[in-house]
Structure 1
């Protein structure tokens, strides 16, 4: 079991077994607090990717992207988002069976811990008027569970933005960028790398490079490039770099490099180098 829990993705039955064991030992109120364990993984790639935006909206968007990446049946959606709060629902993506109350509480706690990891403070979570984080009362949380009111949260926080990110994909991008690209093309790729795992639109790229959309497209076309080509090249080259220069699990590499899911990463490597990522690592991993 220990080995399974250290993998990039954990089977749902195993996660539910671990959650059930926690509830049996300490009650439902312990579940939101388990998210604080994420602080022990502050330098792990997925943690860094989720905190690189240094803001609540960015973190929530990245969390939703992670849910899609791992094909989670349970998703968060926010009903209202302000500079200091968010109303969030935890639902089944296809209107199927709702998440269990324990799963609601656990995810709520993880999001609170990630808000803290993004440099925000005084983070709180309330469900139906009952505090879930940071100081849950065991009797009140149990009441919340019994009344079926654990799936909608009011998250609040305080604090400004710190745009510094510990995840600097531009370091490895500088090592793997095509040597034939111009300084302009490199800069376009550099911006894409800095924003990963977020996907940069052509309009965002143009704004970052202080030019119009049409000027960006025209300038890249002069080098037989396009914004889509830049994005694909950045993703592929960075994924290759991480496969060969790190021991990061392949599922995590796909996420932090901006692929929609692991199948997307696998298809790209099969198309471009003729082997899947795992085989590519086996063949060429730096020892």
Structure 2
């Protein structure tokens, strides 16, 4: 078995993902040092670059499945005019790093437009403003006080239900001056939150609040279960540079507990309280 990093049409819910439907996803939150480009052919390509990041997923594939990917990427070992080259490079995940295969550009004419932020899914979402967006809040955005203060609460009035995110734990891994902030860590755990349906206009507020442009949190897309249904490509936020877990300030912890009480499951609410207590924060809600 081999492992391969994918960043474009092979990602979950993208048009060529069917080639990986029987493959095990080893990491949804993965990245490599490189620069992503739109080829203007409805698929991206990338080059290796030490100062930029490209986001994607890692899959475990058999030899025959890898051959299918080679065919898709027009790669033949040893051929000079390949569309892509398949190389072995270091890729990073929430729980470590490993060397895997990745397909990189071998034709300069494909490098039509640099994709900002290095995420093909995000790039495509932002090019389609005439849509609603599913969004999972798992931290302070479960509480609506700051929505009201910012006069954006009308964006958040359509709640789908309690969303369950499998494979991730909620921990306080973003380090602010006054303490930790919530993050999701892809470590096999489970996180609950509030699943919203938002108008596209709400995204700019969330990007500003989450510090997207200052590289505090980055948008990412996950699968969430709510009301017995799976919701694909749900927007949520993931810390760029994770630190050691640290206690959040009282005001922030209060928002999380206030926003989740009576909404998430009783067991998960108790877990939130116990996690805060473990970090030395006790609040009576």
Normalising by the residue count of structure 2, what TM-score does the alignment of the two structures yield? 0.28
Normalising by the residue count of structure 1, what TM-score does the alignment of the two structures yield? 0.28
* Structure having the larger proportion of residues in helix: 1
Bigger relative contact order (CA 8 A; separation at least 6): 1
